[in-house]
A and B are shown apart, each in its own frame.
Chain A
Amino acid sequence: MTRLLELQVVTKHFGGLYALGGLDLHVDEGEIVSVIGPNGAGKSTMFNVITGLYEPDEGDVRFRDSSVVGLRPNQITRLGIARTFQTVHLFPNMTILENAMVGQHCRTKTGVFGAVVHTPRARREEAQIREKAREALDFFGSRLAGYRQDQPAFALSYANRRRLEMARAMATEPTILLLDEPTAGMNPRETLELRDLIVRMRDERGLTVLLIEHDMRVVKGVSDRVVALDYGRKIAEGSYEEVANNEQVIEAYLGTKAVG
């Protein structure tokens, strides 16, 4: 398997607080890797560093063997890294379809002239944007499909907003998808449904997935590999069973056993 994404001794601190303290992590092509860890372990900071929202203080982020440090978020997205946010960030007043169409933006290049004159190329491209956006929405089945697509995004339920955010990320045609707590706010039934969808993202779409997740049923169900973080460092790595039974991980979540 080829190495797709690699974090090399990445450090990021805010004032005196080390959010990431020399983190090493890699994701191979076609893998589903889950990152777990207690609140404040640096998981979302890691996503922000990968996608260019933060620049690392030290270390390197490499995608397909070239560094992405210093690139703007939109350039990184164009390279093939798409993400969702822990707190949903849609464009609430645009329609559902338009939200997904924005995802296609970085794969198209109609300029002012094409947009105003409607050149055949521009028209073809607009049709393609629409089709790809629909396709991304259709991946989530009846939840986002059909008559609902010309409604504004804010009209969606919380769970559907999460789905739309994932659809928008998929519409950027990424190689790797970073999902930040995709099941937060979903009921148990929806959580299980999403677990299956994540597996299908890889199997049907050929996506590599890196996800942050708290729900252990999801982590267990989807992960090829699990990485546990605490205080911005990797404390364990391996299969779900290995990590779940790792003493340091249990300690990070539950605290130290009382002596005596």
Chain B
Amino acid sequence: MEGLRVRSYIRAGLVGGIVAIYLMLEGLVERFGELNLIGDQVTLGRVLLALPPAVAAFVVMRPRTEAGRLVQPERRAGTVGGALTGLVTGGVMAVALLWADWFGIDRVRAVFVAASPALVEFLTFGRTIVTGALILLSVGVISGALGGVARTTDPGLRRPLTAGLSALIVFGLLQRVIPIAMVEIGLTPDWLYSPITKGLTWEGAAVVFVVAVAASIFWERRGRALRAELRAASDERPSVKFSVFLVLLAIAAVLPLLLGAVVSEVLGQVMIFMLLGLGLNIVVGFAGLLDLGYVAFFAFGAYTCALLTGATLNTTTGAAAPALSFHLSFYIAVWIVALLAAGLGVLIGAPVLRLRGDYLAIVTLGLGEIVSILTTSNWLQPIIGGAQGMRGVTKAQIGILNFQDNPQHFYYLGLAFVLLALFVSWRLSASRIGRAWNAMREDEQVADAMGINTTRFKLLAFAMGGAIGSVGGALFAVNLGSLTPASFVIFVSITALAVVILGGLGSLPGVIVGALVLIGLPGLLREFEEYRLLIYGGTLVAIMVLRPQGLVPNVRRMRELKEDERSQDAWAQAQAGADDGVAAEEPA
């Protein structure tokens, strides 16, 4: 048949197969086999099994440029090619299964811990090996064909179906959150979530699917117009934008009441990382200074807060008073912490003023490491407890609110500081200071020549970023009540940076979304905890490839990423501009 590119199908299929085997050997497939999404038939493990062939087929069937034109593969080629791709992927999985059986699964297991008899059992659906291999083949063919069809089908049909399927997965994954919330507002969740399998019931799944499809169709038809209307309205009257904000705030305010203590605890963590993200966003997003040692401020905030509020040292012989201790209320201490952290920001910023880009990143990385090593050092042991850490950070209490033992109350404390940090960031970005940072980020030398004191504004960025990040650290200390150096490692810097990048550098809503996705989701889905790093890595790679401007991009950053395209038609633009100039003058 014409239009078949067998070679690329085989290649894509092989890649899909390798990914599938990798997921199995990492233990994801089997582990998630216990997580029921719908009934007890559709488990996340089975979805993961069917996903590689479908994705491989979907990718290989993308429109290609042929002789300068975009060619969309036909439906029939999509089906057949997708099935072929899936066949290869399924084939790889089947061969791997047969080989593992022939070689002896226990011998494989000596190297790959996750290759257990339970995995074989899962892959064969409890039948013989050969049946299992045949099942894997047919799963590959079917989901590959579906993937191919999905790509070659009309977007008007594809989008609603994708929306429906995604909604099923999201609802299935949130099985611990949604039922609690439903009970809280007086609904019985039993029709939607089965109390036995914990996943969606089939009826519930049908409802979710239909609603998601309908919503998607509605959005396709009216959504664009609605959004344009809203945007126009908010341009005319800023109050519209403000009411949207108020609605979101109201949702944020009732969230912990609906979701209970467990979810609130996770949301509390999210708040801490929102603060870290907002602080780092000033340094990296606004001022363009890549700081890889941000954990320094987190640690500084946590330990300073502990010292100011009268925490004690953990020692082998019990608690001991630190060499330096104050007994302030948290509400006074937190401002002192922020102020001191701003000073630390200037101290860290001063030696790196002349550095740019890669060099700055490496030096800040080193400075961050110095701070995390200091937390374990014997030298500072009399003050901050060294490897044993500290305990007894004051209970931040005000009236009936108890921020340490009640996660819902802590959530509100975090929310208050996040709102404050958001407000400060927003006001700064829209001011003369924000413009100076922006100009500096775009071209430091020119900014200097235009009268911006780059030294001062770099230090200011470090100070502001440090102050906000240290408040995150102070909250962390108050929330836990005790500190150990294990919490202050480079991973904090990486996570904070990932939050900022995922959301979109320089974008305030981006930081919020980024923290929700990167901290909130893994916290809610405890099955993922083990694979947190794998999922972080995968998510970041996917974001950088598919949407480098971030989930909720900042307008200017979006422009920057398109710079390459622009410089290529700079000539054409200059021509158009020149023509424009002449044309504009003709009437005169």
Contacts and interface: CB of A to CB of B under 8 A. Distances in A.
Interface of A: 51-53, 72-74, 77-78, 82-83, 85, 89, 91-94, 98, 101-108, 110-112, 115-118, 122, 125-126, 129, 142-143, 152, 154, 156-160, 168-169, 172, 185, 187, 189-190
A85 B431 contact: no
Contacts of B428: 112, 115-116
16 contacts: A72-B448, A74-B448, A74-B452, A78-B451, A91-B443, A102-B435, A103-B451, A105-B432, A105-B435, A110-B431, A125-B432, A143-B584, A158-B577, A159-B577, A160-B577, A189-B585
Interface in B417-450: 423-424, 427-428, 431-436, 438-439, 442-443, 445-450
B227 interface: no
A118 B578 contact: no
A83 B448 CA distance: 12
B324 interface: no
B432 A115 contact: yes
A128 to B, nearest CB: 11
Interface size bucket, B side?
A: 35 or more
Contacts of A115: 427-428, 431-434
A102 B452 contact: yes
B576 interface: yes
Contacts of A111: 433
A102 B439 contact: yes
Contacts of B449: 51-53, 73-74, 77, 83
A82 B450 CA distance: 7
Contacts of A118: 427
A246 to B, nearest CB: 33
Contacts of B460: 112
Contact of B450 (A77, A142, A152): A77
A158 B449 CA distance: 21
A102 B560 CA distance: 19
A157 B442 contact: no
A93 B574 contact: no
A69 B45 CA distance: 70
Given A53-B449, A105-B451, A157 B576 contact: yes
Given A53-B445, A53-B449, A102-B447, A91 B439 contact: yes
B450 to A, nearest CB: 6
Given A77-B449, A77-B450, A85-B446, A102 B580 contact: no
Given A91-B442, A93-B559, A115-B434, 18 more contacts: A74-B452, A91-B446, A92-B563, A103-B451, A105-B432, A106-B450, A107-B451, A110-B432, A115-B427, A115-B432, A117-B427, A157-B577, A157-B578, A159-B578, A169-B450, A189-B581, A189-B582, A190-B581
A105 B577 contact: no
B327 interface: no
A35 B383 CA distance: 66
B453 interface: yes
Contacts of A92: 442, 559, 563
Contacts of A189: 581-582, 585
A105 B446 contact: no
Contacts of A160: 577
Nearest to A110: B432
Contact of A172 (B433, B448, B451, B580): B451
A206 B92 CA distance: 79
Contacts of A93: 442, 556-557, 559-560
Q: Which DSSP category, helix, strand, loop or mixed, fits chain A's interface? A: helix
A118 B426 CA distance: 12
Contact of B432 (A74, A126, A152): A126
B380 to A, nearest CB: 31
A169 B450 CA distance: 7
Contacts of B446: 85, 89, 91
B436 A112 contact: no
B566 interface: yes
A74 B457 CA distance: 12
Nearest to B580: A157
Contacts of A85: 446
B573 interface: yes
B442 A112 contact: no
B454 interface: yes
A108 B560 contact: no
A187 B582 contact: yes
B55 to A, nearest CB: 34
A190 B582 CA distance: 8
Nearest to B567: A154
B585 to A, nearest CB: 6
B464 interface: yes
A50 to B, nearest CB: 11
A94 B439 contact: yes
Contacts of A112: 428, 433, 460, 464
Contacts of B454: 74
B539 to A, nearest CB: 26
A94 B578 contact: no
A150 to B, nearest CB: 11
Contacts of A74: 448-454
A110 B460 CA distance: 13
A108 B574 contact: no
Nearest to B455: A72
B452 A106 contact: yes
A115 to B, nearest CB: 4
Nearest to A108: B432
Given A116-B427, A126-B432, A187 B578 contact: yes
Given A72-B448, A115-B432, A116-B427, A157 B574 contact: yes
Contacts of B563: 92, 154
B309 to A, nearest CB: 26
A78 to B, nearest CB: 6
Nearest to B561: A93
A206 B432 CA distance: 27
Nearest to B420: A116
A92 B443 CA distance: 9
A158 B578 contact: yes
Contacts of B452: 74, 102, 105-106
